[in-house]
Chain A
């Protein structure tokens, strides 16, 4: 079994979902810094809802 921190598990879950379906976005308070690995991997402008991603 893979061992990881809660934070890494959240990032891994988000990345798996965003990689599978480009309509999946991440938005919310603080995601810009707290989910920074997801941000640099997928960019701040996912096409479906550009204005909401990494608000």
Chain B
């Protein structure tokens, strides 16, 4: 791609501001989760902002988006009110879905956007959105955001097929961080994803997800083609997520602070080694397997990756970026304050009268789908 195709000036500043807003809200989510105000796991998309903002910059209100279990940045980018989103993930009735959605199932029909925790579901959902859009809003497109592991789900491939067969205007955006939780994606993926998409008849392109200007320009080309009725496309964008699979992922913590976290991980392993089971040779092989895998994750995180916001700041200039950051931080801090106040009020109401379920609120910390002991 020629550098002259990439956005500059005010266009790039707008995209950077969107990224800064996405990051700020995600950081608030993490703080709320750490304070025990968000039930269950929390999957952030910190590190994916360059991909999300770069694609969204090319959409109009008539377009629709289907999201995965990391929906926050895209919803914020589409204009969802941060306060209503924060209240939602805390299970508050004042949240955007009445406190019933949880952070993975956020739905904003007024912004034509929805998230779904079923891995790979954004593909078929985007096909439905594109079909409806073609009938009701000709020229509109639908976008499916998903990770590279989701590309191996059967219904994602059904979605590729349907979109190609019906020439649906769907942009499949694969956010590839190269790890499927703790499994290397390359170990469970046959062939190349772009070749797979091409074999279904999709137009394909690649982009460095840490360069928002590159993503924006690449998505612009693909979306213009789709609006012209030339069928679906597949964008493969690489990224690095520093937080791992979910917030306070114990393996990421182990890598960053081994001395402290070993105290949590080691006792159950020692107990397992003492329990009846395999031979000493088998157990030694198991420990070697475990160590190699943790080592591979450690290398991945030690190498790290480029932060899309840092790169974005360099592109638009430090002074301009600082001005934007200040404005965004102030706005999101206000949303955090209000959401916290309201959550405290709801908690007080719940403890004083009806049980939480009757009020439509979850009880933070009671049910942990990851089996964690927060």
Indicate with 1 or 0, residue by residue over B270-314, a CB within 8 angstroms of chain A CB atoms: 011101111101110111011001100000000000000000000
Of A8, A30, A39, the residue contacting B183 (CB under 8 A) is A30
Complex-state Cα separation, A36 to B363, whole angstroms: 29
Complex-state Cα separation, A34 to B271, whole angstroms: 16
Q: Inter-chain contact count A-B, CB under 8 Å?
A: 87
Report B-chain residues with C-beta under 8 Å of the C-beta of A44. Answer: 282, 285-286, 289
Report B-chain residues with C-beta under 8 Å of the C-beta of A5. Answer: 368, 371-373
Of B182, B275, B294, B372, the residue contacting A7 (CB under 8 A) is B372
Is A43 an interface residue, CB under 8 A from the partner?
A: yes
Contact between A37 and B272 (Cβ–Cβ < 8 Å)? yes
- Closest residue of A by beta carbon distance from B251: A33
Of B188, B251, B265, B277, the residue contacting A42 (CB under 8 A) is B277
Interface residues in B140-197 (C-beta closer than 8 Å to A):
180-183, 188
Is B110 an interface residue, CB under 8 A from the partner?
A: no
Of A33, A42, A45, the residue contacting B182 (CB under 8 A) is A33
Known: A6-B371, A10-B371, A45-B285. A40 touches B290 (CB 8 A): yes
Task: Using C-beta atoms within 8 Å of the partner chain, give the interface range for chain B.
Answer: 20 to 34
Is B322 an interface residue, CB under 8 A from the partner?
A: no
Contact between B277 and A39 (Cβ–Cβ < 8 Å)? no
Contact between B286 and A29 (Cβ–Cβ < 8 Å)? no
Is B353 an interface residue, CB under 8 A from the partner?
A: no
Is B35 an interface residue, CB under 8 A from the partner?
A: no
- Closest residue of A by beta carbon distance from B152: A29
Q: How far is the CB of A2 from chain B (nearest CB, A)?
A: 14
Contact between B182 and A41 (Cβ–Cβ < 8 Å)? no
Nearest first, the 8 A-B pairs at minimum CB distance are A7-B371, A43-B282, A43-B278, A6-B371, A41-B277, A37-B272, A41-B272, A33-B182
| Interface residue ranges, B against A (CB under 8 Å) | 180-183, 188, 251, 265, 268-269, 271-273, 275-279, 281-283, 285-287, 289-290, 293-294, 368-373
Given contacts A36-B265, A41-B272, 14 further A-B contacts (CB under 8 A): A5-B373, A6-B369, A18-B277, A19-B276, A30-B183, A32-B289, A32-B290, A37-B268, A39-B290, A40-B283, A41-B273, A42-B286, A43-B279, A44-B282
| Interface residue ranges, A against B (CB under 8 Å) | 5-10, 15, 18-19, 29-30, 32-34, 36-46, 54
